[in-house]
């Protein structure tokens, strides 16, 4: 993302003059711990060097102008706008502006040019990246004085309330609080966290984009959350819990029989076991046991496939191809599912052959051509100096 080129483009679109400031925001990948965040559990994400960037400046009126180099433009008044499906991507920055307005902070018109290299609808949190990008920009332009935690919660509310996706807080947290060369062991119940060095000792994180996009707001994401809430209602008759992640695997084995619906029971089993896998995986990474870490990733994918049922043909095909390829220590879907991206741990000397072989086998199975990225953990959203 060349900011000089973006400045020239900004002036071309909006006209020269005034102070346009530059901002950046990463994507995120979750190494393990899927669908645990809204169940009060642990997850293990990191921010990515892939992301979005923006140039933005205040206007002297109440007009908001948003331009994405890849996805079009939107113009509306700062007062009185509502969610409109036809606006697509623009609903995410507008949702953030809407939440800032609810705080009673002074907010007038602004214009923003957005560009980036983060695939959209690939499970790498392009929505949260744009949300935090917007929040950081508006905080700086209008001197709002928001803390990082306030921005995280504000952006989650924007996605919940404005866009209508009942997401947890992991995506926004990882995008805002990411740290270079580190993963975040995040307790989504109380938002306590620990940075764990992402030292893979001769291996790399390789992301595989299925090129089968899923629309999160239109997916079964909200349905899965409702199913988990039903499981908690059943379990409360036997256990003193507020959320599924309050249970250990041993407690679930003891109390799980009170869930009579087999589908609801499967959903709960995934969450409880996945939460335990996250803690084990963090310990594996700390002691450099990548083989054990990879095995937990494989277990996670199978649980997401069989118990949570959020993988689908394309994610399964890409993960299966990865695990069948030499040099791959583990592979799983990452993100909400229903399409999107896999994350794999691959020995450095095998990365090129891994990408070639997995791509060929995946295309043979699905007819689609995947894209691959060797991921690096990056810092969270902020101002470009």
Q: Which of 37, 98, 171, 320 is catalytic?
A: 171
* Residue 215's pLDDT band (cuts 50, 70, 90): low
| pLDDT single digits (tens) 21-51 | 999 999 999 999 999 999 999 999 999 999 9
pLDDT at residue 109, rounded to an integer:
96
> Can you give the pLDDT at residue 167?
85
- Residue 339: predicted pLDDT: 86
The domain 3-196+379-383 having CATH identifier 3.40.640.10: the answer here is no
pLDDT, tens only, 60-90: 999 999 999 889 999 999 998 999 999 999 9
pLDDT of residue 70: 87
CA pair distance 332, 328, nearest whole angstrom: 11
* Sheet hosting strand 182-187, strand order edge to edge: 42-43, 182-187, 193-197
More confident residue, 99 or 335: 99
Q: Where are the domains of the chain?
A: 3-196+379-383
Distances from the Cα of 219 to the Cα of 83, 180, 193, 301, angstroms: 18, 32, 29, 19
DSSP three-state, residue 23: strand
Q: Does 139 participate in catalysis according to the annotation?
A: no
- Residues 6+ positions from 106 with CB-CB distance below 8 Å: 142
pLDDT for 219 equals: 62
pLDDT at 80: 82
Q: Please write the tens of the pLDDT for every residue from 187-208.
A: 999 999 999 999 998 999 999 9
User: How much is the pTM?
Assistant: 0.93
Q: Is the pLDDT score of 269 beyond 70?
A: yes
pLDDT higher than 50, residue 217: no
pLDDT digits (tens, 9 = 90+) for 284-321: 999 999 999 999 999 999 999 999 999 999 999 999 99
Say what the pLDDT of residue 99 is.
97
């Amino acid at each position: 993302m060349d900011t000089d080129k973006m400045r020239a483009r900004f002036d071309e679109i909006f006209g020269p003059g005034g102070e346009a400031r530059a901002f950046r925001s990463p994507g995120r990948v979750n190494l393990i711990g899927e669908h645990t965040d809204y169940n009060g559990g642990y997850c293990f994400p990191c921010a990515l060097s892939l992301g979005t960037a923006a140039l933005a400046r205040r206007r002297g009126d109440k007009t908001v102008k948003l331009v994405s180099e890849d996805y079009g433009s939107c113009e509306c008044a700062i007062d009185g706008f509502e969610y409109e499906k036809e606006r697509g991507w623009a609903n995410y920055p507008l949702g953030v502006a809407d939440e800032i307005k609810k705080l009673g902070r002074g907010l007038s018109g602004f214009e923003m040019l957005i560009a980036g290299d983060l695939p959209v609808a690939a499970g790498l949190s392009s929505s949260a990246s744009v949300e935090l990008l917007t929040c950081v920009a508006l905080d700086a332009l209008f001197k709002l004085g928001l803390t990082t935690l306030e921005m995280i919660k504000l952006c989650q509310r924007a996605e919940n309330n404005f866009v209508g996706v009942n997401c947890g807080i992991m995506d926004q947290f990882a995008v805002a609080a990411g740290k270079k060369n580190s993963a975040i062991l995040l307790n989504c119940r109380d938002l306590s966290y620990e940075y764990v060095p992402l030292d893979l000792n001769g291996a790399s994180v390789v992301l595989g984009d299925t090129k089968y996009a899923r629309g999160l707001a239109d997916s079964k994401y909200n349905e899965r959350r409702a199913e988990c809430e039903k499981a908690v209602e059943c379990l409360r008759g036997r256990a003193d819990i507020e959320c599924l992640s309050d249970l250990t695997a041993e407690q679930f084995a003891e109390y799980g029989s009170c869930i009579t619906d087999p589908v609801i029971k499967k959903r709960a089993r995934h969450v409880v076991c996945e939460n335990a896998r996250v803690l084990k995986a963090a310990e594996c990474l700390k002691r450099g046991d990548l083989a054990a870490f990879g095995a937990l990733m494989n277990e996670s994918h199978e649980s997401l496939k069989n118990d949570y049922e959020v993988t689908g043909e394309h994610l399964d095909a890409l993960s299966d191809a990865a695990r069948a390829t030499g040099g791959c220590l583990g592979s799983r879907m990452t993100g909400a599912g229903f399409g999107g991206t896999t994350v794999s741990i691959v020995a450095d000397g095998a990365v090129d052959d891994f990408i070639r072989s997995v791509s060929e086998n995946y295309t043979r199975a699905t007819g689609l051509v995947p894209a691959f990225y060797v991921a690096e953990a990056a810092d969270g959203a902020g101002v470009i100096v």
